[in-house]
């Protein structure tokens, strides 16, 4: 398939995917390419090595609950916080959003 987990470039891209998920009644959480496994509390997109922007997180995140949360999920419909990213235990089972390059465009695939 030649796809990678999504790495949000900015809040605009995050909102674009948010609207797609809401319009299609997809109300779960989704894995992204974010992690701090290489360096504690330094979240980067493993697909490109860039830091995860601070304005992409849900309120009060990342919080590394129980010192076990090292992967990043996207929570489009988080009831207690704004739409955004949340650090999570990497073994949690949830959906994922991938970015698949196509000529002159980018497609998002959601499972």
pLDDT tens sequence across 28-72? 899 999 999 999 999 999 989 999 999 999 989 999 999 999 999
- 44 lies in a domain? yes
Residue 10 belongs to a domain: yes
Q: Which residues contact 41 (CB under 8 A, 6 or more apart)?
A: 62, 64
The answer to the question of residue 108 being in a domain is no
Q: Are 108 and 20 a contacting pair, CB within 8 Å?
A: yes
Query: Do residues 17 and 84 lie in contact, with contact meaning Cβ atoms separated by under 8 Å?
Result: no
CATH of the domain at 21: 3.10.100.10
Is residue 24, in this structure, part of any structural domain at all? yes
Residue 110 lies in a domain: no
Structural domain that includes position 40 = 4-102
What number of residues does the chain have?
111
Note whether residue 13 is domain-resident: yes
| Cα–Cα separations (whole angstroms), residue 60 to 45, 80, 103, 111 | 20, 10, 38, 27
How many independent structural domains does the chain possess? Answer: 1
Please choose, from the candidates 42, 100, 32, 28, the residue with its C-alpha nearest in 3D space to the C-alpha of residue 71.
32
pLDDT in tens, 12-39: 999 899 889 888 888 789 999 999 999 9
* Residue 39: inside a domain: yes
């Amino acid at each position: 398939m030649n796809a990678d987990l999504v790495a949000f470039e900015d809040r605009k891209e995050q909102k674009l995917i948010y609207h797609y998920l809401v319009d299609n009644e997809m109300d779960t959480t989704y894995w992204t390419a974010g992690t701090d496994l290489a360096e504690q509390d330094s979240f980067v997109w493993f697909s490109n090595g860039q830091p995860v922007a601070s304005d992409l997180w849900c309120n009060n995140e990342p919080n590394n609950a129980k010192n076990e949360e090292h992967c990043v999920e996207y929570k489009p419909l988080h009831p207690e916080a704004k739409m955004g990213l949340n650090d999570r235990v990497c073994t949690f089972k949830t959906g994922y959003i991938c970015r698949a390059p196509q000529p002159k465009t980018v497609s998002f695939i959601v499972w």
